[in-house]
Chains A and B, each alone.
Chain A
Amino acid sequence: MMPIWTKSGKKHAVTLLKVQDCHVLRYVSKEESGGKTSKLLVGGKNVSPFYKSESAMEIFKEAGVPRKQKVTTFNVTDDAIIKPGTPLYAAHFRPGQFVDVTAKTIGKGFQGVMKRWGFKGQPASHGQTKTHRRPGAISTNKAAKVYRGKKMPGKMGNIYRTTFGLKVWRINTKHDIIYVNGSVPGHTNCLVKVKDSKLPTYKDYNKNPPFPTFFADGDEKLPEDLYDEEIFQFMDPSVTYA
């Protein structure tokens, strides 16, 4: 995470996400998958091909791509289908767009009810016998049972969670880095899924994105750094107020 300043002098915290060897692996049509839209399987980071069976490696062989650590699906409309094997770059997103980021949260292991669900516990003194971090009552008398989904101690973390509506401030095309506003679930150097935001407030912000994606061998030559309009770039002189 890094600080970033706007032209008015305000500071925002920003997470850096690196797009590391992403390739499209397979196209699954609407009828095959049984959903409402067709799907594209996309693979992430490159890893060694030696520790998996031949059947698992079939998808990668078909696409002609080294084995990936993570394979995710994206629901795509029919006009945004990409040929399997095309690499995906950070320039797929542009500064000013809004993005949802999904990742597995940091695993905290088996945790008690105060850390896991934020219960208040009991006082430290004034006669409390062996009860300081316990849940207390778990149900009422009339119910005569414990409801399903009752908040109780258990394994916390290591599940997929999404943060919605994160602004993209800056894109580095040379190293494929996306600067995303705020914090993102997961530990440092964990694998993360970045999608266009589904929030209705940001429907109009994703105007004119590179569609269906940014092709490196195309005609467009982008500068090394793409900045949002409001960002203070370090080449400019210091901020002054009129």
Chain B
Amino acid sequence: RISSDGKPAKFQPPPKPVIIDKQKQREERRFLSPEFIPPRGRTDPLKFYIERKDMIQRRKVINIPEFYVGSILAVTTADPYANDKTNRFVGICIQRGGKGLGATFVLRNVIEDQGVEVCYELYSPRIQAIEVLKLEKRLDDNLMYLRDALPEYSTFDMNMKPVSRLDHEEIPVNKLQVRMKPKPWSKRWERPKYNIKGIKFELPEKKMKEAQKWSQPWLEFDMLREYDTSKIEDKIWKEVSEELKK
């Protein structure tokens, strides 16, 4: 091949192939459900071990998927008073609480202009299926402020289709800043103790400065409040993943 100059074209080496080792990427991301991590206290570790055995047993029967606060879930439970004895509820997870078998999560949705929140227990035998329709994280761990936000941020279609995503992708963080209804709110969300990053505060600067009066800057340096869970998490993750593979 001769270029327009008349000289032979310079050899362009082909682009080097980029090898994405999918197995390695999958192993790197480990998710341990937060209710497995034992709280700090003087209880015997034997109690947590026995509780974990029961939790793993239940997970072998029902698949409890990985989800975070801010992901949209659909839960089917057994309901004795419904026509076909099942009840399906779709909502955004605003809070995950409790440790061990009593772990709960709260789903919020707005149905016919009425905000509805349902608190489900993860290990309750009445739950028949938990599907994750959209897996994503939000800027905060606790989305209780959606109660005081405009209803459009909490409405989700009951017949929503699950959003497909690839396995090895990182979980997307939705940096949505929510607009609020006018004050008064159920809690003073502008105060630093809630540490909320997901609200677009349209309050005057004076109010925001006044709210900073309640800040406790010494809290992050308090050594007695430190609870390093990395080693505990590693141990529990190994135990749980081995048991679930069996």
Give residues in A with beta carbon < 8 Å to B: 2-3, 5, 9, 11, 16, 18, 172, 175, 177, 188-189, 232, 234-242
Q: Is the interface of B mostly helix, strand, loop or mixed?
A: mixed
CB pair A234–B102 under 8 Å, yes or no, is no
Q: Do the beta carbons of A238 and B78 come within 8 Å of each other?
A: yes
Residue B131 CB within 8 A of the other chain:
no
Is the beta-carbon distance between B50 and A3 smaller than 8 angstroms? no
Whether the pair B50, A172 counts as a contact (CB closer than 8 A) is yes
Cβ of B62 and Cβ of A238 under 8 Å apart? yes
| A2-B47, A232-B125 given; 20 more Cβ-contact pairs under 8 Å | A2-B51, A3-B101, A3-B102, A3-B121, A3-B123, A9-B124, A9-B126, A175-B50, A188-B41, A188-B43, A188-B44, A234-B123, A235-B57, A235-B61, A236-B125, A237-B61, A238-B78, A240-B85, A241-B79, A241-B80
13 CB < 8 A contacts A-B:
A2-B47, A2-B101, A3-B123, A11-B121, A16-B47, A175-B50, A188-B41, A189-B42, A234-B123, A238-B62, A239-B78, A239-B126, A241-B85
Instruction: Give the residues in chain B near A172, CB-CB below 8 Å.
Output: 50
Q: Are B80 and A2 in contact (CB under 8 A)?
A: no
| A145 CA / B54 CA spacing, docked (Å) | 60
Contact B43 A5 (CB under 8 A): no
Q: Is B51 within 8 A of A9, CB to CB?
A: no
Contact A5 B61 (CB under 8 A): no
Q: How far is the CA of A172 from the CA of B102 in the complex (A)?
A: 20
Partner of B102, one of A2, A16, A189, A239: A2
Q: Is the CB of A239 within 8 A of B100?
A: no
A237, B80: Cα distance in complex, Å = 17
| Nearest CB of A to B114, in Å | 26
Residues of B within 8 A of A (CB): 41-44, 46-47, 50-51, 54, 57-58, 61-62, 78-80, 85, 100-102, 121, 123-128
Q: How far is it, in angstroms, between the C-alpha of A236 and the C-alpha of B43 when the chains are bound?
A: 29
Nearest residue in B to A187 (C-beta to C-beta)?
A: B42
Across the interface, which residues of B come within 8 angstroms of A189, CB to CB?
Answer: 42-44
With a cutoff of 8 Å between Cβ atoms, the chain A residues found around residue B78 in the complex are 9, 238-241
Distance in Å: Cβ of B201 to nearest Cβ of chain A: 36
Interface majority SS (helix, strand, loop, mixed), chain A: loop
Known contacts A9-B124, A240-B128; A234 and B50 CB within 8 A of each other: no
Which of chain A's residues has its CB closest to B57's CB?
Answer: A234
User: Which A residues are CB-close (under 8 A) to B42?
Assistant: 188-189
Q: Which residue of A3, A9, A177, A234 contacts B61 across the interface (Cβ within 8 Å)?
A: A234
Residues of B within 8 A of A234 (CB): 54, 57-58, 61, 123
Complex formed: what's the CA distance from A2 to B102 in Å? Answer: 7
Report how many A-B pairs have Cβ atoms within 8 Å. 61
Which of these, B46, B47, B127, contacts A238 with CB under 8 Å?
A: B127
B77 shortest CB reach to chain A, Å: 9
How far is it, in angstroms, between the C-alpha of A192 and the C-alpha of B57 when the chains are bound?
Answer: 30
Contact B128 A238 (CB under 8 A): yes
Please report the C-alpha to C-alpha distance between residue A49 and residue B121 in the assembled complex, in whole angstroms. Answer: 47
Q: Bound complex: CA of A18 vs CA of B47, how far in Å?
A: 10
If the complex has contacts A234-B57, A238-B78, A240-B85, are A2 and B124 also in contact, measured as CB distance less than 8 A? no
Compute how far the CA of A239 lies from the CA of B43 in the bound complex, rounded to whole angstroms.
31
CB contacts (< 8 Å) of A237 on chain B: these are 61
Residue contact A177 to B50, C-beta cutoff 8 Å: yes
Q: Are A16 and B50 in contact (CB under 8 A)?
A: yes
Task: Give Cα distance in the complex from A240 to B80, angstroms.
Answer: 8
Task: Give the CA-CA distance A3 to B35 in the complex, in Å.
Answer: 14
Q: Which residues of A contact B61 (CB under 8 A)?
A: 234-238
Give the CA-CA distance A180 to B20 in the complex, in Å: 54
Interface-centre pick from A18, A175, A239, A242 (highest chain B CB count, 10 A): A239
- Residues in A neighbouring B124, C-beta threshold 8 A: 5, 9, 11
Give Cα A164 to B100, complex, Å: 28
- The distance in angstroms between the C-alpha atoms of A238 and B47, with both chains bound, is 24
Cβ-defined partner of A18 (8 Å) among B44, B51, B100, B121: B44
Least CB distance from A45 to B in Å reads: 12
Q: Which A residue sits closest to B128, measured CB to CB?
A: A238
CB distance from A154 to the nearest CB of B (A): 28
Residue of A nearest to B129 (CB): A238
- Shortest distance from the beta carbon of B98 to any chain A beta carbon, whole Å: 9
Q: How far is the CB of A137 from chain B (nearest CB, A)?
A: 43
**Residue of B80, B124, B126 contacting most chain A CB atoms (<10 Å):** B126
Bound-state CA distance A182–B153 (Å) is 41
Known: A177-B50, A189-B42. A238 touches B125 (CB 8 A): yes
